[in-house]
């Protein structure tokens, strides 16, 4: 009997070393990760296969040129819309990605040589004030870029359906609310600066990217897909070269 003890001992060790695999109790639930719920705007973007996606964090501004519309985003969601006036087919608003550099309150303005040559404007500097073509405030983009989002001295033009009327800049109906949102101040503060006595710049506390895009098919802030006239007769992927538009004095 003694000679069988090592065999029995090895068998016992093997039994201890072998892991016991037991089936999970049938009562335990199987957890399946749910896909994130898309907002109506995001769902519409995917439906039409639009390449534009607002940043998931922070603030951003989109100007859809053929829609004559500006949409402000915060954390990827639309939070504000505004009618805009964009460039004519001859003086097109360029398609580009840029960012806000500053909001200039009470800007001055000087027409371009082409505007002067056409006889539309005299060669002079327009003083700051409500009669200035840039209005009471201009949201300046990257340094050196002569395209702005700005107020206007002709607000009645926002009532028109077709608003390709500017020399390339983007006149913004809700300029005061947009400036307040960009600067994280109240609309009352914006209006106080705009109706003050001095011209000055105020930089945003955090970077705010600005997308000037050309989408003839695009959702509105509620996710309804809209189709817009191809006012510049070009493909949305083409980028217009930036010209000499809306110089600031």
Residue 210 included in any domain? yes
pLDDT per position as a tens digit, 55-107: 999 999 999 999 999 999 999 999 999 999 999 999 999 999 999 999 999 99
Q: Are 60 and 210 in contact (CB under 8 A)?
A: yes
Query: What is the tally of structural domains in the chain?
Result: 1
Residue 100 included in any domain? yes
Q: Is the pTM of this model over 0.85?
A: no
pLDDT per position as a tens digit, 110-164: 998 888 888 888 899 999 999 999 999 999 999 888 899 999 999 999 999 999 9
Residue 50 included in any domain? yes
Q: Are 80 and 72 in contact (CB under 8 A)?
A: yes
Residue 162 included in any domain? yes
Residue 51 included in any domain? yes
Average pLDDT over residues 16-43: 61
From 186, 89, 96, 110, select the one nearest 141 (Cα to Cα): 96
What is the reported pLDDT for 240? 40
3-state secondary structure the chain: CHHHHHHHHHHHHHHHHCCCCCCCCCCCCCCCCCCCCCCHHHHHHHHHCCCCCCCCCCEEEEEEHHHCEEEEEECCEEEEEEEEEEECCCCCCCCEEEECCEEEECCCECCCHHHHHCCCCCCCCECCCCCCCCCCEEEECCCCCCCEEECCCCHHHHHCCCCEEECCCEEECCHHHHHHHHHCCCHHHHHHHHCCCCCEEECCCCCCEEEEECCCEEECCCCCEEECCCCCCCCCCCCCCCCCCCCEC
Burial group, residue 118, by CB count within 10 angstroms (0-12, 13-18, 19+): exposed
* Two tokens, residue 217: 């098919």
What is the reported pLDDT for 24? 54
- For residue 99, the enclosing domain spans 40-227
Residue 23 included in any domain? no
Q: What value, to the nearest 5°, has the Cα angle with vertex 220 and ends 160 and 154? A: 25
Q: Are 214 and 236 in contact (CB under 8 A)?
A: yes
Residue 1 included in any domain? no
| CATH number for position 97 | 2.40.440.10
- Helices 175-183 and 187-194 sit at what angle, rounded to 10 degrees? 110
């Amino acid at each position: 009997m003694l000679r069988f003890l090592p065999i029995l001992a090895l068998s016992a060790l093997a039994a201890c070393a072998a892991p016991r695999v037991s089936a999970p109790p049938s009562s335990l639930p199987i957890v399946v990760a749910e896909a994130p719920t898309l907002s109506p705007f995001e769902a519409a973007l995917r439906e039409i296969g639009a390449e534009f996606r607002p940043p998931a964090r922070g603030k951003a501004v989109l100007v859809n040129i053929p829609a004559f519309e500006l949409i402000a985003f915060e954390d990827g969601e639309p939070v504000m819309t505004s009618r805009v006036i964009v460039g004519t087919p001859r003086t097109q608003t360029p398609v580009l990605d840029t960012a806000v550099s500053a909001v200039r309150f009470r800007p001055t303005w000087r027409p371009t040589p082409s505007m002067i040559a056409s006889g539309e404007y005299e060669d002079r500097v327009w003083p700051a004030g409500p009669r200035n073509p840039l209005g009471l405030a201009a949201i300046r983009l990257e340094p050196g870029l002569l395209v702005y989002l700005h107020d206007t001295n002709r607000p009645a033009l926002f009532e028109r359906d077709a608003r390709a009327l500017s020399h390339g800049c983007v006149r913004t109906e809700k300029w005061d609310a947009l400036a307040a949102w960009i600067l994280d101040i109240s609309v009352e503060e914006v209006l106080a600066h705009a109706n003050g006595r001095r011209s000055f710049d105020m930089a945003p506390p955090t970077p705010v990217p600005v997308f000037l895009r050309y989408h003839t098919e695009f959702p509105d802030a509620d996710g309804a897909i809209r189709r817009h006239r191809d006012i510049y007769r070009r493909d949305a992927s083409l980028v217009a070269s930036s010209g000499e538009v809306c110089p600031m004095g």
